[in-house]
Amino acid sequence: MNTPTGIRLSPVPDQRHESDSDFPLAYLCDDSAIDLDQTCNWVGENRDQLLALATEHGAVAFRGFPTPNVEGFDRFITSLMIENFPYEKSLSNAVRINRTPRVFSANEAPPDVRIFFHHEMAQTPIYPKYILFFCEVAPEIGGETPLCRSDILYSRLAERCPEFAAKCEQAGLQYTNVMPGSNDPNSGMGRSWQSTLGVDSKEGAEARLESLGYTYQWLENGCLKATTPPLPAVMETTPGQKTFFNQLIAAYCGWKDERNDPSEAIRHGDGSRLDADAVRVAIDLSEELAYDHRWQVGDIVLLDNTVAMHARRSFEGTRKVLASLAEMRTQSFAVQGGPR
């Protein structure tokens, strides 16, 4: 990699070392003479290597670079030359606010709401290959973004709960979510059905859900209850490397608001209930393997969404962490024949 003096690999606090790999890999810019143009040139020249490192390590962090504002973050992303996956085209259930065509708030849920580990949009038929996070305002207390290598988690889960791991791989998962009739900013999953589905009528919502293979039910309060088709719970990212690619932990622990009950949010793809003890093992493993990124203004973190899960700790004060999605992928699953 062509790296100028002043940009170097550097450890970050609490960096993990798993399977001879740093997690996250971290670059530090400690030369104030390096400006945004030089940074973007470096990113663009090394685009393929940086994306490959995100896949190899799960995440790459950038600290000390001249990217203190959203415009700098947007230029950094553009330099990576990755296809934008706009928020409005996603099926994310989080309320977010766009700042640029490819940058939006990570989640508008209140500070006391904890967001549990998940792969972004693994609970839908479409998901992003890459996620980038950016710190505009660092929180006073808390607000870390935990990251977890999902391939390592799955390997350990398969050792401790082999039957459950096999059932996840063979049967997949289904998710049920009740979407409100208008955005609910007090919930971590409060995006309205109109915004989620990109429609303005019930007829449009039904057509979109049917095209995606969902089942659905209209509720008396104007909410829409939707259940996904069976989706993969395990992904083979490279030959022999499997990741726990799903939203099991987030749905089981955190899909709770005035409309949603976590006990009804998730099933295996064949309709059977999950083994609660095994799910608890997966939750505990995610915390054991977690790296908590403590934000500093200007920090950027690049994730391969198929390798690393992310979450959000509760916080006090003001916290503004922005996000961008890239390279839309699709997934489907046949319960009898396995993932395809």
Could you report the per-residue pLDDT of 12-44, keeping only the tens digit for each? 999 999 878 999 999 999 999 999 999 999 999
> Domains along the chain?
7-108+126-141+293-339 (3.60.130.10)
Tokens found for residue 31: 């030369």
- pLDDT tens profile 46-62: 999 999 999 999 999 99
Which pLDDT band, with edges at 50, 70 and 90, does 340 fall under? very low
Please indicate whether residue 128 or residue 3 has the higher confidence score (pLDDT). 128
- pLDDT tens profile 214-252: 999 999 889 999 999 999 999 999 888 999 999 999 999
- pLDDT tens profile 36-49: 999 999 999 999 99
Q: What is the mean pLDDT of residues 313-322?
A: 94
Share of the chain above pLDDT 90, in %: 81
pLDDT of residue 2: 79
Residue 109: exposure state from Cβ atoms within 10 A (0-12, 13-18, ≥19): buried
pLDDT of residue 14: 94
pLDDT of residue 96: 84
pLDDT of residue 336: 54
- pLDDT tens profile 253-304: 988 888 988 888 999 999 999 999 999 999 999 999 999 999 999 999 999 9
Residue 326 has pLDDT above 60, yes or no: yes
pLDDT of residue 339: 42
Q: How far apart are CA 62 and CA 43, in angstroms?
A: 11
- Per mean pLDDT, which range of 87-96, 128-137, 258-267 is the poorest? 87-96
Mean pLDDT, the chain, whole residue set:
93
Q: What is the mean pLDDT of residues 144-170?
A: 97
Residue 94 has pLDDT above 80, yes or no: no
